[in-house]
């Protein structure tokens, strides 16, 4: 993850990587991915090239399998646009909206007093000033602090001075903001093994905030986790909610996952054309083809590679870089 003092250089390197990769491909325009006027030309050119690949009439996947997906993959902002604003904060959500991206991913955990907050690590050290504000409270685990205590923490200065004073949002605050922004949510239940009952609590909060109505379920909400048992609980309690398993189950095990999950979401380092084809061959509990969203892809070369594999979505800290490279759409088709 990006250190606060290195944010600008990392983002610049990612953007330079996109431009360099595009230049190395015949017919691809030189582009600054942060310039809207130039981005459109790059997107049209790359989209045309990959539409050919996806239909099997041009370059196929590395495995030789033509992707089952048609069109470009969905882009999902990982912890918000976290290359440009502190992860899992309202600032990162707003940055994703500013860049034109509808889908955001986040992580939820329980506080000591049972409030759901949006934060990735199970401790507070990396992305807040908890060690300074609460010395002697090692290991500064999220579960050992109340919501009021966490609300005191600075969750932005680690990323950059301009974000000083940014707070860790509660799930309720987060849902309010993405609702205001007309965004969609890929929500990860983080470390469910240390948070008994988090599935029921998450569903209760989603229902309270209007996210389990017909306008959200099926089109605007996905719940994912590394915990298969956690996803089974979600599916048992709300069978209508779309779920995604984070990981790469063995191909022979995929049919058992298809009983309770609609997506298999592997790291980009573990995905291949053959694996995507095996996932796509199955239907999930909602009788639709299983989808594949891969993570965390932050440069053009990898984005183009996984697009060639036929993935349905790309989860990224730098959604504009992926969009410029692949011509990804921002809304679910």
Active site residues per annotation:
78, 120
Using alpha carbons, list the distances in angstroms from residue 152 to 80, 86, 145.
22, 16, 11
Determine how β-strand 313-316 pairs with β-strand 74-78: parallel
**Long-range pairs for 281-284: beta carbons < 8 A, 24 or more residues apart:** 282/254, 282/255, 282/258, 283/258, 284/258
The encoded tokens of residue 213 equal 């109505």
Residue 234 exposed, middle or buried by CB count within 10 Å (0-12, 13-18, 19+): buried
Q: Where do we find the tokens 């990612």?
A: 14
**Do 139 and 123 contact (CB within 8 A), yes or no?**
yes
What is the spatial distance between Cα 199 and Cα 205, in angstroms, rounded to a whole number?
Answer: 10
What is the spatial distance between Cα 249 and Cα 290, in angstroms, rounded to a whole number?
Answer: 13
């Amino acid at each position: 993850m990006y250190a606060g003092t290195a944010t600008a250089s990392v983002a610049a390197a990612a953007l330079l990587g996109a431009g360099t990769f595009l230049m190395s491909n015949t017919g691809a325009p030189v582009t600054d991915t942060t310039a809207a006027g130039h981005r459109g030309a790059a997107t049209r050119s790359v989209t045309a090239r990959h539409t050919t690949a996806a239909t099997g009439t041009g370059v196929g996947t590395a495995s030789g399998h033509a992707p089952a997906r048609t069109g470009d993959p969905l882009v999902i902002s990982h912890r918000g646009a976290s290359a440009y604003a502190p992860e899992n904060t309202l600032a990162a959500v707003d940055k994703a909206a500013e860049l034109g991206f509808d889908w955001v991913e986040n992580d939820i955990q329980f506080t000591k007093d049972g409030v759901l907050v949006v934060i990735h690590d199970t401790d507070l050290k990396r992305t807040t000033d908890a060690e300074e504000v609460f010395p002697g409270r090692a290991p500064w685990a999220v579960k050992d602090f109340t919501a009021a205590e966490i609300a005191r923490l600075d969750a932005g200065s680690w990323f950059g001075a301009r974000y000083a004073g940014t707070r860790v949002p509660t799930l309720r605050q987060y849902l309010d903001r993405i609702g205001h922004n007309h965004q969609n949510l890929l929500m990860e239940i983080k470390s469910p093994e240390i948070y008994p009952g988090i599935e029921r609590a998450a569903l209760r909060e989603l229902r309270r905030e209007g996210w389990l109505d017909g306008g959200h379920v099926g089109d605007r909400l996905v719940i994912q986790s590394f915990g298969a048992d956690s996803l089974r609980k979600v599916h048992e309690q709300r069978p209508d909610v779309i779920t995604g398993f984070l990981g790469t189950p063995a191909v022979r095990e995929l049919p058992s996952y298809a009983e309770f999950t609609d997506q298999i979401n592997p790291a980009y380092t573990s995905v291949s054309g053959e694996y995507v084809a095996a996932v796509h061959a199955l239907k999930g509990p909602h009788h639709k083809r299983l989808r594949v969203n891969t993570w965390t892809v932050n440069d053009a070369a990898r984005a183009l590679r996984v697009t060639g594999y036929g993935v349905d979505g790309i989860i990224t800290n730098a959604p504009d870089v992926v969009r410029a490279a692949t011509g990804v759409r921002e809304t679910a088709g």
